[in-house]
Structure 1
Amino acid sequence: MMATVTEIKSDAQETGAWLGSNIWDGRAFDGDWTPLQTSANVLEPATGAVLGSVGLASPEDIRAAAVAAKSAQKSWAATGYDERAAILRAAAAVAEKYRAEIVDWIVRESGSIIAKAEYEVAVSIKLLHEASAMPSQACGQVLPSSPGRLSMARRRPLGVVGVISPFNFPLYLAIRAVAPAIAVGNAVVLKPDPRTAVCGGFSIARIFEEAGLPKGVLHVLAGDGAAGAALCSDPDVAMIQFTGSTAAGRKVGEAAGRHLKKVSLELGGKNALIILDDADIDLAVKATKWGAYLHQGQICMATGRVLVHERIAEQFTKALAQSATQLPVGDPASGQVALGPLINEAQVAHATRVVENSVAAGATIEAGGTADGLFFQPTVLSNVLPGNPAFEEEIFAPVAVVTPFASDEEAIAIANNGDYGLSAGVITASLERALAFADQLHVGLLHINDQTVNEEVVNPFGGTGASGNGTSIGGPANWEEFTHWQWLTMRGVVPAYPL
C-alpha cells in the first residue's frame, strides 16, 4: 500500500524543518533570506489550508537581484571547473538528504499525487548529477585556419540568466534551467510561480545554499507578471528561459526580443497519441490514461488528443471510459488517490467551459465531465472532430479527447492540424508504419509505442510553433542554450598587412 505523506516526511511546515516556513516566510533569497515588502499566502489546493506566506518581488527587487547577480557572476565564471562541479554534486546530495520534505511540499503546494512528486524529485536529483559533469566537459573546438594562426571556437557563459518557471512540475521545470546555467558559469535569477514558490523556488535556494554556492550566484524571488516583465527588460539579464503557457510565452518572447535577449520558450501543447488498428487495446488504454490523467492533465506534454483508428475506436473508447471511472480522486496527501486537485478555481472553470462547449458542438461525455471544488473527475469525450473546442484548445485538466480516423494519412493530417508542435506518440505493432509517421509529424518529441509524457533528463526537450521557439533544453542542448560562441584566434606575430 502507498504511504501517506505524513508517513514519509517530518512535518515540513514546522519551525526547525529544513524547508520550514520560518526560513522563507515573506522573504526572497540572494544568498541570504531578505524580507520583501509584500507577500501572498501559500495555499494547499486539496484543502484550502494556508501553508505560509511568500514574499512577492517588485520590479525594483528584480533590478537589485540582477545587479547583484551580474557582480557575482564574474568570480563564479572564473572559479575552477572542479570546484563548480563539486558544488553541483553537493547540491544533489542535499536534495537526496531532504527528499522527503521536498516531496511533501510538491504534494501539498501543487496538488501532486505522491508518486508524481517522488518522480519529480528523483529526476531533479538526476539533473543535478548530469549538470555536475558539465564543467569538466570540452567547451570548444579547434578550427582549421591559415598557417601560423591558431583558431578556436569556445563556449562562454552568457552572464545572468533569468528563469521564469511554472506551477505544474515546479521543482524540475525550474532546476532543469538553473543547474546547467550555473554549471557553465552563469548566475541565475529565478522567478517561480508564486502558487508553488516553495517547492519550485525556495527548495532550490535551500539546496544550493547548503551546497556552498557563493552568495549572489543564485537569486530566488517569487512575483507576479510585473516582476516577470522586469526580468525580461532588465539590462543586466542576458537570457530568459521561460516555461509556461503559450499566451504568456508570446509576451515573454516579445519583451525579451525587444531588448535583444536570448530567449528559450517552452510552451503549451495539444499533443496527439495515435492508436493504429493493430494496437493492443488494453495497453493503449493504459498508455492513454497515463498521458491524459497524470497530474490531472496539467502537463505541457499531456495527451490532449487521442486519435484512434475507426475500426477499434468504439471498443477503445468504451474500455477507456470504464477504466477512467475507476480512478480515485481526492487529497493527494492521503496516498490513496490517482488524481489530486487542479491548481485553482480558474483552471476548473476553464476546463468546465471547454467540456460544456465541446458537448454543445457535438462531443459526447463517456465518463466524468464534472468537478467537486478543485477535484475534476477523469473525463472521456468521444466524437470530437477538428473544430470542436476540445480538439482545438489546451485544456490542462484530466480530459481524454477521442477522435476517430480512417487511414494513416488522415491520422497524420489530424495530428498536424493546429499551431502546437510539442509531443506525439504512435502505438502500433508495425514499426515500419510508425517510422512513416515519424517523418511526417511536426513535433519536437516523438515516442513510438509510448504515450506523450516522457522525460529522461539527458534528452533535448523542446517544441515548435505555439509550443516554443524551436529551442531545446536538456542534455546536449544545454551547452547551446546557456552559453554563446566566441571565436578566438592567436598568432605569434602581427601580420604585415599590405595597406
Structure 2
Amino acid sequence: MTLLADRFTSAIFTGAWTRAQGGDAPVVSPATGEVLGRTGIANADDVHHAATRAARAQREWAAASFEERAAVLRRVGGLLEAHAEEIQGWLGREGGAAAGMAGFQVHVAAAECFEAAALASQPHGEILRTAKPRLSFSRQVPAGVVGVIAPFNVPLILGIRSVAPALAVGNAVLLKPDPRTAVGGGAVLAEAFRQAGVPEGVLQVLPGGADAGQALVADPHVRVISFTGSTEAGRKVGEAAGRHLKRAHLELGGNSPLVVLDDADVDAAASIGAWGSFLHQGQICMTTGRHLVHDAVADAYAERLAAKADALTVGDPTQEGTALGPVIDTGQRDKIHALVTSSVDAGARLRAGGTYQDLYYRPTVLDGVDARTPAYAQEVFGPVAPIVRFSSIDELVELANSTEYGLSLGVLTRNPMRGMEIADRIPSGIVHINDQTVDDEAVAPFGGVGDSGTGSRFGGTRANLEAFTETQWVTMQADPARYPF
C-alpha cells in the first residue's frame, strides 16, 4: 500500500485534496526530464482562504490535550518510516537526491516528528517573583497560524522541521513548498498528517510561487513566518514581515569554510572535504563552500581532493552506486558553470571537473583561489570546492571572516582545543571540530548569523518553543485588587 497513490494530482491540500485556483504545473524529474505528475499551484486567493480556515481550526487544536497532539506527531513519524522506500523514490526522482541523501531526509524527518511529540509535553512557563500578594508566572502560548516557506534542495527536512514543532505547541500551519519539489516537500507531509488524524484545516499545503509567498507573509491571520531559502529572498520576506509586525525566522544562504590546519590528517581531510562540498550536488545551505588549507599541506590536500572528485559517479540518483545526481534545473546549472568559468578566467587552476552533461555537473576542485575569485566570494550552491591557502592563523581568520555569511564552520586538526580557539575568532551559528560543515539533528539548535539568517530558530526544545510561541505574563490573586480611585 502506498502513501500517496495519485491523491496530489493537480491539487493542493486544505484538509482534503482540492483544486487550486492558481491552476497546476508539471512535476518534472531533473534526472530524465520525465513528467512525473502534476501539482496544484496556489495563488493569493488560495492562501487567504487557507489562512481563514487555519485560524478557525487552530483554536480547537490548541485546546486539545498535549497527549492528542503528541499522538498525531508520533503517528506521522511512524508513517514516514513505514513508507520510507516510496518517499525516498520521490526524493530521488523529483529532487535529484541520491539514495544516501534521500534516506537521510526520511530519517531526520521522522526524528523531527518524534522530537516534536516530546515537545508537546514540555514545561511551558516559569513562576516569577512578585512584590504583591499574588501568583505571578509566564507561559508560552501558541502564536496562532504559522506560515512555513520551504525550498527545493532538502524539501522534506526543511519543511517538517518547522511544521512539526509548530503543530506540537498548538499552532495551525500553512506550508508552501517549492513547486519543483511539491511532492517530496509537500504532498508527502500532507498525506502523512491526514492519515495520522490531524484535524481538517490545522495543516494545509500550498505549493506556489512568489505571489503565494507574498500573500502568506501579508495575511493578518498568519503571525509567524518560518522561511528557508536564499539570502536575497530572505531579505524580502523579512522586510515584508516587519511591515506587518510579525516575526520572521530566516534560515538563509551560506559560504561555509572548512579549515585544514598543518597538523591535520590529509587523507582523512580530503574525504571530509569531498563529502562537505559534493554531497547532494552541493545544494545544501551548509555545503563546504571554501576550503582554507595551510600551506604545509595544501598541495597534498588539493591532489587528494581532486582524486576524490574524479572517482565519484555522477548519474541517475535512482541507480545504485550514484554519488551525485542532477542539479535542480538549467538555471542553477548555468549559474554554477558561470562561477567556475569566471574563476578559471580570473586565474584559478581547475584540478577536477568543470564540465557537465544535461543537468549532471561533475564535482569540481579549484586551486590557486583567492578571496576575490567568484567561486570563493559567492555562494555557488553546486558541487564546487575552491581551495585557498594560508600561512598563519591571523591570515586564516581574516580569510574566514571575509564574507557576510556565518552559517557553519569546520576545523580539522589533531588538537581540538586549538580548533576551538580558532572557532572563537570566526562568527558562525554552527561549529564542527574535526568534521565538515554539513550536519543536522532534530535535537540540536540550527541557524546562522550575519547574512545566513536570524540565529538558531530550529531544533531543540528551547529554540522551537521560542520560535513558535508567544510569552504571556499571568498573575492571579485571591481577592480583587483595591485602588484609591
What interval of TM-score do these two structures reach, taking the shorter chain for normalisation? over 0.9
Structure 1: stretches of 5+ with no match in the other structure: 1-15
Matched, 1:151 2:136: yes
CA distance in 2, matches of 1:23, 1:435: 50
Deviations 1:348-407 (A, max 9, x none): 100010011111111110000011110000100011101111111110110001000011
CA distance in 1, matches of 2:387, 2:259: 10
Which residue of structure 2 aligns with residue 281 of structure 1? 266
Structure 1 residue 435: deviation in Å? Answer: 1.6
CA distance in 1, matches of 2:232, 2:94: 24
CA distance in 1, matches of 2:457, 2:7: 35
Alignment equivalent of 1:169, drawn from 154, 158, 163 = 154
| Residue type of the alignment partner of 1:35 | R
Which residue of structure 2 aligns with residue 111 of structure 1? 96
Which residue of structure 2 aligns with residue 497 of structure 1? 483
Matched, 1:486 2:472: yes
Contact 2:441 2:459 in 1 (8 A): no
Secondary structure, counterpart of 2:234 in structure 1: helix
Structure 1 residue 212: deviation in Å? Answer: 0.4
CA distance in 2, matches of 1:165, 1:258: 21
Matched, 1:186 2:171: yes
| Residue type of the alignment partner of 1:342 | V
Structure 1 residue 409: deviation in Å? Answer: 1.6
The percent of aligned pairs where both chains have the same amino acid is 50
Contact 1:292 1:304 in 2 (8 A): yes
CA distance in 2, matches of 1:484, 1:86: 23
Q: Give the 5 Å matches for 1:214-233.
A: 214-233=199-218
Which residue of structure 2 aligns with residue 34 of structure 1? 18
Which residue of structure 2 aligns with residue 7 of structure 1? none
Structure 1 residue 430: deviation in Å? Answer: 1.1
CA distance in 2, matches of 1:254, 1:371: 37
Structure 1 residue 432: deviation in Å? Answer: 2.4
| Residue type of the alignment partner of 1:273 | L
Cα pair distance change 1:471/1:323, threshold 3 Å: closer
| Residue type of the alignment partner of 1:31 | G
CA distance in 1, matches of 2:482, 2:155: 58
Secondary structure, counterpart of 1:136 in structure 2: coil
Alignment equivalent of 1:361, drawn from 338, 341, 346 = 346
| Residue type of the alignment partner of 1:410 | E
Contact 2:94 2:181 in 1 (8 A): yes
Alignment equivalent of 1:397, drawn from 353, 362, 382 = 382
CA distance in 2, matches of 1:498, 1:212: 54
Deviations 1:315-337 (A, max 9, x none): 11011111210101000111221
Matched, 1:25 2:9: yes
Which residue of structure 1 aligns with residue 419 of structure 2? 434
CA distance in 1, matches of 2:157, 2:204: 17
Matched, 1:331 2:331: no
| Residue type of the alignment partner of 1:260 | L
| Residue type of the alignment partner of 1:498 | P
Contact 2:408 2:431 in 1 (8 A): yes
Alignment equivalent of 1:52, drawn from 26, 29, 37 = 37
Q: Give the 5 Å matches for 1:73-472.
A: 73-472=58-457
Find runs of 4+ consecutive structure 1 residues off by over 3 angstroms: none
Secondary structure, counterpart of 2:213 in structure 1: helix
CA distance in 1, matches of 2:127, 2:413: 45
Contact 1:173 1:243 in 2 (8 A): yes
CA distance in 1, matches of 2:149, 2:187: 14
CA distance in 1, matches of 2:455, 2:315: 37
Matched, 1:61 2:46: yes
CA distance in 1, matches of 2:482, 2:474: 20
CA distance in 2, matches of 1:35, 1:103: 26
Secondary structure, counterpart of 2:3 in structure 1: coil
CA distance in 1, matches of 2:476, 2:3: 51
CA distance in 2, matches of 1:270, 1:224: 26
Structure 1 residue 147: deviation in Å? Answer: 4.4
Contact 1:463 1:472 in 2 (8 A): no
Structure 1 residue 173: deviation in Å? Answer: 0.4
Structure 1 residue 133: deviation in Å? Answer: 0.6
CA distance in 1, matches of 2:304, 2:401: 26
| Residue type of the alignment partner of 1:482 | F
Cα pair distance change 1:156/1:278, threshold 3 Å: same
Q: TM-score, normalised by structure 2?
A: 0.98
Structure 1 residue 17: deviation in Å? Answer: 3.6
Structure 1 residue 84: deviation in Å? Answer: 0.9
Structure 1 residue 497: deviation in Å? Answer: 2.4
CA distance in 2, matches of 1:494, 1:222: 52
Deviations 1:460-484 (A, max 9, x none): 0000111002342111310010001
CA distance in 2, matches of 1:81, 1:224: 34
| Count of aligned residue pairs for this structure pair | 483
| Residue type of the alignment partner of 1:34 | T
CA distance in 1, matches of 2:322, 2:99: 9
Structure 2: stretches of 5+ with no match in the other structure: none
Contact 2:253 2:451 in 1 (8 A): yes
Contact 2:445 2:456 in 1 (8 A): no
Deviations 1:158-178 (A, max 9, x none): 000000001111001000000
Secondary structure, counterpart of 2:160 in structure 1: helix
The RMSD of aligned alpha carbons is 0.9
Secondary structure, counterpart of 1:442 in structure 2: coil
